[in-house]
Structure 1
């Protein structure tokens, strides 16, 4: 593949015919991708969607993914990460795939570390199709007020000022910054911190750090996989931002943080990951060591809702903190 945007390389998978007709592995070595020793969850989400998409006709596009993180996945393991795709159903308008990612050595080489149910719909049955536009409901929640800001208004100086208002400086707590590089260009704006955690909001303009390759940009599977990658970047940070006293400066009171379940609904199969989007995150519940997180994403130009995310994460504090989560 010719050099392109980082995210298009991250989401890419390749077949493993010696393992099975529907077996895939990461095309880019995990040691070259972000996440340190543990593999970033967004990579698993994105590559599972890429693998599942390779088993359906090109006019079928993913509309939802329900994933569960089962075991830690390490980037330093010599064993390959294998995505095994099971063809659960194939209909005229809908298809379903079950993706099981395995990693391990010896007797544990088939250990399932991640699972995702990926659902597809034929494109000509969607609300954007002129054949059925009169026969379907077509609406979406509007985007938040951008306070008169646009992406180009968020300078590096303003970006640093916004991030300075965040409690602490730990990377888990802060939202991604466009000055930090990476797969996506983040321009944070309009944070709202409130007395009640469920009233807090974190908002950003976001798009791929680099334009997607011309031959790749028109492929829905790549763009939707890229949005899956985006959906998990620093998502757990909203629960920390909403509970600054319990979390502590620099997240010093956090002893464990990990995603348990991650659900995505894609509302527009023709989204382009390198176009500006508006993203808003919130949290609605915390208890028993778990927090529930929410995310909505809109196309900045059209105002159309393009993705909805819900995630349940493990978030534990030091025993003497007295968590209100």
Structure 2
């Protein structure tokens, strides 16, 4: 297993139960933060569900609600329940608890890996062209990124205008820092993808208004301290896995986020994620608790 797969691994919590799982290794948190990284919790919830449904099922969607922040001092227990299996699809729920406190709930939908839906309508948003500059810099921490998980290259859009925040789009190339030693589309890649989708969304409402999560002296992206993000949090996060068989976290993927609405100390964030060769891998929505000032 890779270091990332180790960090996201779960195991049965009890020998006589196959529906309750717990984290194998210490929970992952960003540097300087007391709370556990929410993307890691989503990945572990997905991992628990995948171990329950068996190898013939492939995940289609995952809808999460965050209710409390988890801490690193106690294990999290993932209860898989509400299994409803049909011929071609399966739905289940996962509730994650820490010291009897509910921290996240997830509803997941799976389809049989061998099931073909035939020749229906087909289209996908194409991968946008980006400009990285003559010497793009690799970052290993920064706005919204859990240090140690990803590395990325920013792709700034000169047309971004803080006066028109709803129209601003933010792009970057992203991949895991450590390789997953398995082929594209295998479960380790899909589980890690869930965590990656949570590394860039949180700061998007502020970013759309020209605000940084980092102190001015740390705006290079190398900073470990993520000071303003401590005031923020994820309320809900949904992932639609469009082409899980093409997911490869070892290659550079393109992320694009934007915030079509913000108000009442909340922000709605959209995310598209493409593979290196242009396959649309996932579409996500995230609702953010965002008490940052507008100026």
TM-score over 0.5 (shorter chain):
yes
Quickly say closer, same or farther: Cα 1:207–1:253, change in 2 above 3 A: closer
TM superposition shift of 1:41: 0.3
Partner of 1:136: 120
Query: 1:292 aligned to 2:268?
Result: yes
Instruction: Determine if contact 1:66/1:116 at 8 Å carries over to the other structure.
Output: yes
Q: Does 1:66 align with 2:63?
A: yes
Which whole-Å CA distance do the structure 1 matches of 2:112 and 2:231 have between them?
A: 41
Matched, 1:112 2:91: no
Higher helix share: 1
2:75–2:98 Cα contact (<8 Å) kept: yes
The C-alpha deviation readout for 1:147-178, integer Å capped at 9, x for no partner, is 3x49xx6533xx58xx9xxxxxx94xx364xx
Q: Per the alignment, do residues 11 and 237 of structure 1 end up closer, same or farther by CA in structure 2, a change over 3 Å counting?
A: same
Matches for 1:31-180 after TM superposition, within 5 Å:
34=30, 36-76=33-73, 79-104=74-99, 110-126=100-116, 132=118, 135-147=119-131, 149=132, 154-156=135-137, 171=142, 174=143, 176=145
Instruction: Name the CA distance, whole Å, in 1 between partners of 2:212 and 2:196.
Output: 27
What is the CA-CA distance between 1:240 and the residue it aligns to? 1.2
Match 1:269 to one of 244, 250, 253: 244
The superposition leaves residues 292-320 of structure 1 with CA deviations (integer Å, 9 ceiling, x where unpaired) of 0011001121x111110100010114xxx
Q: What is the rounded CA distance, in whole Å, between the counterparts of 1:61 and 1:22 in structure 2?
A: 18
CA RMSD of aligned residues (A): 2.8
Deviations 1:107-135 (A, max 9, x none): xxx221110001111122356xxxx3xx2
Report the TM-score when normalising by structure 1.
0.78
Residue 181 of structure 1: CA displacement?
A: 5.8
Contact map agreement 2:64 2:237 (CA 8 A) in 1: yes
Displacement after TM superposition at 1:254 (Å): 7.6
Could you tell me whether the CA contact under 8 Å between 1:37 and 1:75 is conserved in 2? yes
State the number of aligned residues: 282
Q: 1:279 to 1:255 in 2, by over 3 A?
A: closer
The verdict on how the C-alpha distance between 1:94 and 1:16 changes in structure 2, with shifts beyond 3 A counting, is same
Q: Give unpaired runs (5+ residues) of structure 2.
A: 217-225
Q: Describe the shift of the 1:227–1:253 C-alpha distance in structure 2 as closer, same or farther (beyond 3 A).
A: closer
Separation in structure 2 between the aligned mates of residue 254 and residue 87 of structure 1, nearest angstrom = 34
Which of these residues, 17, 22, 26, is aligned with residue 20 of structure 1?
17
* Residues 1:252 and 1:140: Cα distance change in structure 2 (over 3 Å): same
1:84/1:100 contact within 8 Å kept: yes
Question: How far does residue 273 in structure 1 lie from its aligned partner after superposition?
Answer: 1.6
Separation (CA, whole Å) in 1 of partners of 2:184 and 2:280: 19
**2: distance between equivalents of 1:316 and 1:92?**
45
Task: Flag the structure with larger Rg.
Answer: 1
